[in-house]
Structure 1
Amino acid sequence: MPLIPLRPLLAATQRYGFAQGAFNVNSVIQAEAVIAAHEMFRSAAILQGADLANAFMGGNADFLKGTLEDKQRGARLIGEAVKKLSQDSPIPVVLHLDHGKDFASVKAAIDGGFTSVMIDGSHLPFAENVELTREVVQYAHERGITVEGELGVLSGVEDDVFSDQSTYTNPLKAVEFCKKTGVDCLAISYGTKHGAVKGENVQLRKEIVIAVTENLKHEGIFGVLVSHGSSLVPRYIVEKINQLGGTIKGANGIPMEELKSVIKAGIGKINIDTDLRLAVTRNIREYLAGNNSAAENPALKAIAELMNQKPEQFDPRGYLVPIMDSFITGQTTDPQVLDIFKRIKQGVQEVVGTLIVEFGSVGSSAKVEAVSLEEMAQRYQRNS
């Protein structure tokens, strides 16, 4: 099935009252695992490539300093791979840009084959955020591409997204923002947090979700709400990492019951990144600890050394540099590296499969209209 824009999937979440997990990937093998898990549960799938993940996939190991050229190469690589995976799949698949920081980065993703983009102007004053987001909406909608905006600031760290404090989203400003920009969905700040350290016993501000949702309905504005910083940080995974030499401290996620309560209140898309990193890291540590022959493989030995140097590290991009090209493309002739790839896929599928069930998107593929970008562009034009 060809890739679809995010808009028809958002419409399905709103109509049928479920949420769709949106899973961040940094390589083709992770993308394969995400799609395979969704196929198993006949769920539509949202794969996300963050702005700087595109720089990494473009070949820059120091992705925090990624250039536009890096992002363009990475967007083309993952775009072509996911397009092919989607064509061979029976489920609708969306490829979404997460945390696009400027117009050029968004354009790089669209040119690379992404069917949905986020422009993150949350760090800007309201009027400037509106102007930047409106510019992206106009460009994207002309091409049938879905647009996600953001209003309010989440605390925590994810790639270059960083803030010490949260600024909750004002429901009235959210409605004004959606009306002025024409975004299809809106990421809001209501108590979630980027990263693995979210605090204990997090309680989400569900009333913010309800207020935004109800006000949008009252104004007749289509807009599905998005939850960033929503990883659950499973305790059993963190504990196993630490048993195997990791030193992840203070790790706490969003309680599942809290996420389920906001799905009913109007959250239709839930972003997951940290949980995937944790599961992959645990699986690789298990493999290295259980295979003495791994120490004889130069690439795996180098990976182990990097993990030992930074035991608090759980982002695979930080320690898989010795096999970076193979990791990104999924291509290798080394049987032990293939074993590593197998463990990576298993970790991704463990997290993704669990959340497909918990978020209620099992069987959602049959509920999502398979709309082409061309048809979506015509619909945007008719409604403008």
Structure 2
Amino acid sequence: MDEVEELEKKLKPRGEVSIIGCGRLGVRVAFNLLEVHRGGAEKVYLFDSAKIEENDIVHRRLGGKVGEYKVDLVKRFFGERAEVYRTNINKDNLHLIKGDVVIICIAGGNTIPITREIVNYCHERGIKTIGSNGVFGIEEKVYIDDSQYTKGPAKLLGVKNHTVVGTRKFIKDGEPITPYTLDEIAKKMVILCLKYLYYG
């Protein structure tokens, strides 16, 4: 029994992760990653300037209050392991990004230009990146691709070695975003992140 306890003590979190965007997808990624037990990320940095609104059901279901910053909800649960920035990443504050892995979960409007900037900034510094590649669809398979070779929206980024997870569907396809699709994308993003932290 002592041997098992010694092995348990050796299982510690490792590495740091930035999550850019704490909306419906980002909050799922943050909770799933920080919930990893006997390992996972040592520190998670969260970036989002938005406050919880009435229609942010997942945030409210997790205990968030309307008017509270989305990143503060995560901080309340995970304390010191979550460092929050109540700002959106833009070309003027890329220097705030840190860690071994960056997970990009931004949405709303044309996110291609800033996503490209984030990916290029990270790659220049040897930071692995994971992003979304379409979250639309009713009963869609969730794919893991390199953005350079994918068929989805991430193809428009024009970057290499950026892992993307999604349905490959565009907003123009006119399909909704379902919670179970977001759950599956978040799950796959977290698994990829853990593989990067543990295996490089």
Coarse TM-score class (shorter-chain normalised): 0.3 to 0.5
More helix by share: 1
Specify the structure having the higher radius of gyration (Cα): 1
Q: What is the TM-score with the length of structure 1 in the denominator?
A: 0.26
Q: What is the TM-score with the length of structure 2 in the denominator?
A: 0.42
